[in-house]
DNA sequence: CAGTGGTCTAGACCACGAA
DNA sequence: TCGTGGTCTAGACCACTGG
């Protein structure tokens, strides 16, 4: 695996948190205990736990120790952005259907969207996400089959492509372009909104290491909110 | 100031970079040199420079050293989001006008927006930003006068309030809520778009340390894009 | 090859704040 | 009070890569 020890420690802790094994409020072992557990210096675990705190997964206070943070509000977090998780977190039933699927060589238009050279094999998918049966988001995705050859054989019947991809090839970098559009007839029909209604588009490109993996355009009804939080580098931040 | 040494070092380097004193491509002193310069251990400067690299201000390569990064593309970066900078970076002439200004006790509606208790003194501003004379964004801002008493005496004739605030009380945390709206008559008139046109709203709340400083709603014509980039914690990332 | 950043160690002192 | 995290040291070895 070859990854730095502090990354491995961070991932193990992260896994315990996101899987729910350690629920919000659960206290983590102290740095000293973690150092003993992993047989390393305290600074190494400190680096791992500090990264979790920067990511907002845990809260650290002197004497009180490090505890798993309450999950942030119900809105879509731009950083995470797994639609099934988002819908279920709002207490709604999640469903999806693959409306269209095509495997092809990237056209010039595709190439511009995904950031690959024309001619590279891609998988194009259109997916509708639903919450309590109501259209929630329309997803138009391109997957680089060079980066993810397994996608060719995947039916995407158990999991939508975003979640499937995240499990196999988690992104290391993502770029979102966000814009507002008036719904055209096609989008209005899919999302069951009035033609001309303002919709929010999130064009997202994801990399794994230096490789472009996927491009997705998510179109939401306009009253949906995207939420992004930023923490100025090096500052201690708010409570 | 009592701030940690690695923060002080990061800020000094950051200052040299954002001020343009060290232009893109300029090589920074090596960690060893910086450690000698500041009279501290190499790990301390390493922490500072690593933070700059995480923020994308510099790129680091073994043997080649650390160099000031090329500034990222021309679109609004959600993390930075200074409108004059954004407009000028696109090679357009920037202008703004304060359309409305009122000092008042926070109403219940204000309180919800800015995250303060009702009755706290706030300054409410409406500002129109222009690029080459064309409306670029409509800004509706609340400033906490408890956090920024100087704002009461400021005319905002040289600088728009966003830039002015950033210079006095830089945010340490920011939360953006992004949504799409159909322009109502008032917004359409201000932005000179058709009524009903899709507009992009960025509702932003900013903190300095634990204190709410300001809330701003920026409304853009829908074809404007907001761009956000994320780097997964602990990963090495793309080129 | 040699210099750079990347990681890690085994200590240390201190400030904070819950008990 | 006293355990916790926050910071810092003065070394170390290694991987990578430009010259």
Q: What is the pLDDT of residue B75?
A: 41
Chain B contact set for A7 (CB, 8 A):
234
In 3D space, the residue among A90, A238, A230 whose CA is nearest the CA of residue B202 turns out to be A230
Compute the Cα dihedral for B57, B61, B64, B66 and give only its sign. positive
Q: What is the pLDDT of residue A169?
A: 78
Do the Cβ atoms of A238 and B172 come within 8 Å?
A: yes
Q: What is the pLDDT of residue A74?
A: 37
Using the CA of B45, which nucleotide's C1' is the nearest one?
D8
Domain locations in chain B as residue ranges? 5-68, 76-227
**Any idea what the Cα angle at residue A139 is, between residues A149 and B236, rounded to 5°?**
55
Kindly report the bases of strand C lying within 7 A of a protein C-beta atom. 2-12, 15-19
Spanning CA of A154 to C1' of C6, the rounded length in angstroms is: 38
Do the Cβ atoms of A228 and B180 come within 8 Å?
A: no
Q: What digits encode the pLDDT tens for the residues A60-69?
A: 999 999 999 8
Q: What is the pLDDT of residue A76?
A: 47
Q: What is the pLDDT along chain B (239 residues), one digit of tens a residue?
A: 578 999 999 989 988 987 789 998 999 999 999 999 999 999 999 999 999 988 778 999 999 999 998 765 434 456 667 899 888 878 899 999 999 999 999 888 887 777 777 788 999 999 999 999 999 999 999 999 988 899 999 999 999 999 999 878 777 778 888 899 999 999 999 999 999 999 999 998 888 766 788 999 999 997 777 777 665 554 444 44
CATH classification number, A5-68, choose in 2.60.120.10, 2.115.10.20, 3.40.1190.20, 1.10.10.10? 1.10.10.10
d(CA A186, CA B114): 38
Any idea which residue has 């060589």 for tokens?
A105
Query: Across the A/B interface, how many CB contacts are shorter than 8 Å?
Result: 165
d(CA B91, CA B86): 9
- From the C1' of D7, which residue's alpha carbon is nearest? B4
Backbone angles phi, psi at A57, to 5 degrees: -80, -25
* Overall fold of domain B76-227: Chorismate lyase (3.40.1410)
Angle at which helix B31-38 crosses helix B42-54, to 10 degrees, equals 120
Q: Residue B118: left (phi > 0), alpha (psi -120 to 50), or beta? A: beta
Q: What is the pLDDT of residue B44?
A: 96
Do the Cβ atoms of A233 and B174 come within 8 Å?
A: no
In 3D space, the residue among B81, B85, B53, B82 whose CA is nearest the CA of residue B69 turns out to be B53
Compute the Cα dihedral for A88, A90, A93, A98 and give only its sign. negative
Query: CA-CA distances (angstroms) from residue B26 to B2, B57, B89, B168?
Result: 30, 12, 20, 28
Low-confidence ranges of chain A (pLDDT < 50): 73-76, 234-239
């Amino acid at each position: 695996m070859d990854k730095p020890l502090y990354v491995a420690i961070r991932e193990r802790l992260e896994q315990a948190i996101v899987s729910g094994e350690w629920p919000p409020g659960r206290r983590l072992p102290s740095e000293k205990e973690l150092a003993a557990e992993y047989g390393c210096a305290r600074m190494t675990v400190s680096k791992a736990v500090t990264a979790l705190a920067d990511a907002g997964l845990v809260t650290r206070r002197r004497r009180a120790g490090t505890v798993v943070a309450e999950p942030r509000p119900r809105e879509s977090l731009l950083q995470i952005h797994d639609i099934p998780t988002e819908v279920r977190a709002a207490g709604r039933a999640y469903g999806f259907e693959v409306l269209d699927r095509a495997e092809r060589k990237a056209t010039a238009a595709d190439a511009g969207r995904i950031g690959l050279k024309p001619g590279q094999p891609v998988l194009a998918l259109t997916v509708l996400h639903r919450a309590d049966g109501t259209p929630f988001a329309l997803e138009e995705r391109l997957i680089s089959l060079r980066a993810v050859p397994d996608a060719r054989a995947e039916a995407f019947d158990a999991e939508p492509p975003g979640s499937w991809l995240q499990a196999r090839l988690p992104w290391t970098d993502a770029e979102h372009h966000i814009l507002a559009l008036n719904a055209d007839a096609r989008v209005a029909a899919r999302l069951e909104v009035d033609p001309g209604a303002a919709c929010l588009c999130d064009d997202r490109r994801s990399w794994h290491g230096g490789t472009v993996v996927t491009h997705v355009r998510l179109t939401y009804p306009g009253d949906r909110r995207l939420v992004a939080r930023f923490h100025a580098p090096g500052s201690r931040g708010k409570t």
